[in-house]
Amino acid sequence: MNLKSAFALLAAGLFLAACGADEVVNINDEAKEKGTITVKVVDNHDGSSITGAQVYSVVDDESEVTDELGLAVWSKQVLGDHVFRISKEGYATVLAGVELEEAGKGNVPRVPDAVMYVPMYKTGVTAKGTVLYTDDKGETKAASGVTVFAALDPDGNLDVAFDTTEFKTKTDKNGEYTFKNLPEGIEIGISVGQSTIDGLRYFAASTKVGGGNYRAGDAINAPIVRMAITAPKLEMVSNNLKSLDTNSAITLTFSSELIADSLKDYYWVVTEGSNEMEMVKATLSKDNKTITIKLVDGVWSTGTMYRLTGVAFSKEGETFTITNEEFMVGSGDLNVPAKVKKFAAEKDADDPDYYINLTWTAPAVNDKVTHYEVWYKTDEMNSFHQMSYRSYDDDAALDLKKPMIQVYISSLAGAASVQFKLAACNSDGCSDPTDATKAIKLPTTTIAPAP
């Protein structure tokens, strides 16, 4: 990689750090058009000069080596920002910067000279620790094969920036990890990336270790990292309560996998009339997402008002409760829309980094669609979630000839891809959701739309 490009993003912060710490000193006020930058490299621990350090100038694309006083001198430097990369075997490579500003008056140029003190940190510190996780049965186990990160100076307290700010490794079969050759005398942030274990996603809080007391050769024993199951909100994706006939079973479909406890008889109660309880049986689909509730014997009564009460439990520990949900069987007035067809998600032709267009073939006119509901799932999510978006007042979405909904990519920031589901709705309920034809890859950054 071109070092000038690599350092560009670091430059602004480095200049502020250097100036704010009074590390830049004017040593010559004479009238001149170019200045001299002297880089003084010292050991962070004892302040001694470091001889033989390589100081690379991004502006000049050249290197100098520090002398016995730890100095590297750069003459005839123009106004503006100057970034240096300082390296030496046994030390962590650091970046430092300074800005030369015009100090003259009128037509007399006066570019100041500057001295920049750069501390370097010896390497050789070892950090080790263990990562554990608690499974869905409550058992604590070693988390093997998960990625652990070590971030140098995570709060940005130092006056220099490290060339490499983060390291990563994986845990072994015992959940143990080791980082070697870390810099001495600094704080180190230890974190674990979100990980999928046995089909469930886990996370852990980060921790900090190290500090000014640790020297090269020391070993840091980090606190145990304990991962917990992330718990996406459990939502009911669809149900058929608005379209039951006398022989139908109730079906309730949820956004995440459910556990067997969701089927206990006393968790699902159907009452009729004056709270007379019906005898029902609940079963779970093969994908563990749909509960089917049917009468043990007999059929539903036409035109009778029933009430459904129950609770579903996801594998991640979330619950969804239904309390006295009313439904009427065979009333003859229910007209839930049919499923939408040819549902597609495509990036907008004019602004592909800003909009995703959702298009489909609308249900028949007599379905009396009043709005559509959108569900989405990114690569970072365990299940589909309902978007806050509704299309009640969106003429484009309700256009039966060419319906469309636009989704802002910025609302999905951080994800790499996204999938969609769409349901047509009216006052009687919503259709079963239809899946989009393909997942959409998202841009790494979002830009403003074209005017």
In total, the chain counts a number of residues equal to: 451
The answer to whether residue 365 sits within a structural domain is: yes
The answer to whether residue 451 sits within a structural domain is: no
What is the Cα–Cα distance from 379 to 361, expressed in whole angstroms?
27
Residues in the chain predicted with pLDDT less than 50, given as ranges, are 1-28, 332, 392-393, 446-451
φ and ψ of 334, to 5 deg:
-85, 135
**pLDDT at residue 31 in the model:** 56
301 and 208 together in one domain: no
Domain that holds residue 139: 123-229
What is the Cα–Cα distance from 133 to 47, expressed in whole angstroms?
44
Question: Pick from 271, 303, 328: which residue ends a domain?
Answer: 328
132 within 8 A of 225, measured Cβ to Cβ? yes
283 and 315 together in one domain: yes
* Cα–Cα distance list, 317 to 107, 200, 250, 380 (Å): 73, 11, 24, 18
Name the burial class of residue 254, with classes exposed (0-12), middle (13-18) and buried (19+) by CB atoms within 10 angstroms of its CB. buried
The answer to whether residue 261 sits within a structural domain is: yes
The answer to whether residue 225 sits within a structural domain is: yes
291 and 348 together in one domain: no
The answer to whether residue 95 sits within a structural domain is: yes
Question: Pick from 286, 301, 328: which residue ends a domain?
Answer: 328
116 and 135 together in one domain: no
**pLDDT at residue 184 in the model:** 94
**pLDDT at residue 447 in the model:** 43
132 and 225 together in one domain: yes
210 and 246 together in one domain: no
214 and 128 together in one domain: yes
Question: Pick from 229, 263, 283: which residue ends a domain?
Answer: 229
Q: For residue 54, give the amino acid letter.
A: Q
**pLDDT at residue 141 in the model:** 94
The answer to whether residue 29 sits within a structural domain is: yes
**pLDDT at residue 442 in the model:** 81
The answer to whether residue 348 sits within a structural domain is: yes
23 and 107 together in one domain: yes
**pLDDT at residue 16 in the model:** 39
260 and 289 together in one domain: yes
**Domain CATH for 114:** 2.60.40.10
**pLDDT at residue 361 in the model:** 84
Structural domain count, the chain: 4
7 and 115 together in one domain: yes
Enumerate the H helices of 33-165 as residue ranges.
none
Please enumerate in sequence order all residues whose Cβ is within 8 A of that of 184, keeping only pairs 6 or more positions apart, or say none: 44, 45, 121, 122, 123, 124, 125, 214, 215, 216, 218
17 and 108 together in one domain: yes
What is the Cα–Cα distance from 58 to 61, expressed in whole angstroms?
5
**Domain CATH for 296:** 2.60.40.1220
